Chains A and B, each alone.
Chain A
Amino acid sequence: NAGVTQTPKFQVLKTGQSMTLQCAQDMNHEYMSWYRQDPGMGLRLIHYSVGAGITDQGEVPNGYNVSRSTTEDFPLRLLSAAPSQTSVYFCASSWPRGSPQETQYFGPGTRLLVL
């Protein structure tokens, strides 16, 4: 198993540009999520999905869109990048769903710099 994979590893954007951060998992997990990590702060939840075709907002959703057409993939779209979106982005999946033992598995992260 590759686990949770993310591409690209690093990206530089200009203000106003759009891009998609890719996330994929091969563990057949229903739940997937996106977080951002900023210096001095913990990870904050952007969006999550409990299965194909179902997405919902987390703590900091503004400026980001998601979709979930398959169990494996959960891309994060920045529609019009802003310097405030400079951050490290982590994708995660979890299992077993809805159990007190539900454990999060994280990807290696994407570093995004918006100029």
Chain B
Amino acid sequence: KQEVTQIPAALSVPEGENLVLNCSFTDSAIYNLQWFRQDPGKGLTSLLLIQSSQREQTSGRLNASLDKSSGRSTLYIAASQPGDSATYLCAVYNNNDMRFGAGTRLTVKP
């Protein structure tokens, strides 16, 4: 059974800092891995999707990496801003089944 873990559960940083969020999974048989952002009381917004054959994806200040062999992914956020404050969820997808981590709650202080 696929299990997804995100560390840390919560993170608080000053504005402008670069930061890394971690995601690990137990079964390397995945189609893809997605990183989502969730604002309080809202739905999920897809940030980046990494296909199983890819090693990384970039969008603006965000860079996500994938190492299937070790069951790890990281989300790198450069030059963090207060508007980045949210919960970040990673999810792995395979064969109609998407498994989520519990998320990292990020606070960026002005």
Contacts and interface: CB of A to CB of B under 8 A. Distances in A.
Interface of A: 31, 33, 35, 40-45, 48, 50, 56, 58-59, 90, 92, 99-109
B32 A102 contact: yes
Interface in B31-56: 31-32, 34, 36, 41-46, 49, 51-53
Contacts of B89: 42-43
A11 B103 CA distance: 25
B97 A45 contact: yes
Interface residues of B, number: 26
Contact of A58 (B43, B53, B97): B97
B98 interface: yes
A33 B93 CA distance: 13
B64 to A, nearest CB: 14
A48 B101 CA distance: 19
B32 A45 contact: no
B46 A105 contact: yes
Main secondary structure of the interface of B (DSSP, over half): strand
Contact of B42 (A33, A43, A44, A108): A108
A88 to B, nearest CB: 9
B96 A56 contact: yes
Contacts of B31: 99-100, 102
B96 A42 contact: no
A59 to B, nearest CB: 8
Contacts of B51: 100-101
Interface string B1-40: 0001000000000000000000000000001101010000
